[in-house]
Chain A
């Protein structure tokens, strides 16, 4: 059940240059039935000139405290206003949105998690969910611009962590796939979130390896619930909802089998 909820900010902190972590708590007795890794929520800036929710992926979900953690980059005035919130403030949220990763397809496998930049946060919840599954191995390879890292401690808790930086200041110099090749990581499936050039390279890599890749896509969104058809991605086959070769990222996605989308 999707709804718009007024959440309470319980924690806000800067993790790296322009990157913020915000925890939002649900009102008592109003928790969502389920939150899956890879799902997202729409956060509304506290600014009446901005009417659209900002789609932000869920980094952690704690059903015991009713708190969602979001880690986002300040990209404009809307996200800046979110970053300026203080504990005790209210933030309106549309959630929980999107399909999330299919954990059944990943259980019992060696799963390679690839995150690039602000695609890293959803990998934390995914790593945590997979680490709890018997026989499931997690190797996380995360790509950053430089040594201004974030969420590394959280990821180390759930599996091996390799790091790639564009400037070579930490780990492998280059991108996440450079680090994967350098360490000869073997995997049965890949889950990835990051910028489009990275996702294209991941799709190619998975094809070469003969393993499935589940990639999380991003697009400018309006409604977030599948009504406006703003955030579509090209699909290989005719989509069963749209009846054209377009799938809604907010609803059929944001996670897609890389072989089913044209990116």
Chain B
């Protein structure tokens, strides 16, 4: 125990839609594979949850390269949701994750309602703790984001997924909307058990020497510390609008950043692009949040949710 504590280890556990996480730190979908690559750097047993890269009913090739570009304080990506499909995912990735004492949240993507539902149904009998539905990828041409940008569509697809899902459903929201509170309410109205935000912000980079787009897809999703203030603001607005728990993310680079999201109204957080900067970051965020609680003599991390004044 460090100085300034009353000697009691703070309670880091959180409960999201009935699922008990040992701490509020997750990985953001798409930045952590299915945990295999980062298990060389981080003990997955120490994380609240691993959120997998999006998986569809069939393998997806994704976009042409270049798929990534660095920008000031962040990066753009247009991977295009490349994934091996649900069969391989269950057989390989889920089998791998079963070895660890952490919660498994599977991110689900699709072009159409039927494709989402097929994946959700396939996962019904698997050892999966929650589903996160990606209705917010800015890099896939047909479908996907249209569900996340129209409140009526969002309510509708949420309700259909909820009906088919055996696990609690988290709807992942896009920041590329005018009113995030309206989208949060739309997900809640459809029966979502939780929402996660933000996905990436659509951006662009131009190579002025070649006078061409840097990404083959022209546009890409901006992530990293550059988007954090936008993300914190949106989490706060969403928290004012809904009662369901919120998983906050967007540019988290430290435990202090994570605490900011919790204070804004998130019950849990996810570490994304900054895993690429520091592959051990998730563990550092867990440790740092615990230190924060000790330093401020706060017994449970749950007390901090929405505690900004």
Tell me, yes or no, whether A binds B: yes
Interface residues of A in 121-135 (CB under 8 A from B): none
**Could you tell me the distance in whole angstroms from the C-beta of B59 to the nearest C-beta in chain A?**
5
Interface size class of B (residues with CB under 8 A): 35 or more
Query: Considering the chains assembled together, what is the distance between the CA atoms of A226 and B224 in angstroms?
Result: 19
For residue B11, CB closer than 8 A to chain A, the reply is no
Please judge, given known A-B contacts A4-B41, A4-B279, A229-B82, whether A219 and B65 are in contact too, CB under 8 Å. yes
Please judge, given known A-B contacts A246-B62, A246-B82, whether A225 and B37 are in contact too, CB under 8 Å. yes
For residue A71, CB closer than 8 A to chain B, the reply is no
Evaluate contact between B59 and A52: CB separation under 8 angstroms.
no
What residues on B are CB-neighbors of A50 within 8 Å?
A: 70
What residues on A are CB-neighbors of B88 within 8 Å?
A: 243
What residues on B are CB-neighbors of A245 within 8 Å?
A: 61
Please judge, given known A-B contacts A230-B77, A242-B82, A244-B82, whether A219 and B70 are in contact too, CB under 8 Å. no
Encoded as 1 (CB less than 8 Å from any B CB) or 0, chain A from 41 to 64 comes to: 000100011111100000000000
For residue B3, CB closer than 8 A to chain A, the reply is no
Interface residues of A in 227-262 (CB under 8 A from B): 227-233, 241-246, 251
What residues on A are CB-neighbors of B74 within 8 Å?
A: 51
Query: Considering the chains assembled together, what is the distance between the CA atoms of A217 and B61 in angstroms?
Result: 19
Interface residues of A, count at CB 8 A:
35
Encoded as 1 (CB less than 8 Å from any A CB) or 0, chain B from 61 to 76 comes to: 1100111111011110
Evaluate contact between B277 and A44: CB separation under 8 angstroms.
yes
Evaluate contact between B279 and A225: CB separation under 8 angstroms.
yes
Q: Provide a sorted-by-A list of 24 A–B residue pairs whose CB atoms are within 8 angstroms.
A: A4-B41, A4-B280, A44-B277, A48-B73, A51-B225, A51-B273, A220-B69, A222-B77, A222-B273, A225-B37, A225-B40, A227-B32, A227-B38, A228-B30, A228-B31, A228-B68, A229-B53, A229-B67, A230-B77, A232-B65, A233-B65, A243-B84, A244-B60, A246-B61
| Chain A residues at the B interface, C-beta cutoff of 8 Å | 1-4, 44, 48-53, 78, 94, 219-233, 241-246, 251
| Chain B residues at the A interface, C-beta cutoff of 8 Å | 30-33, 37-38, 40-41, 53, 59-62, 65-70, 72-75, 77, 79, 82, 84-85, 88, 224-225, 273-280
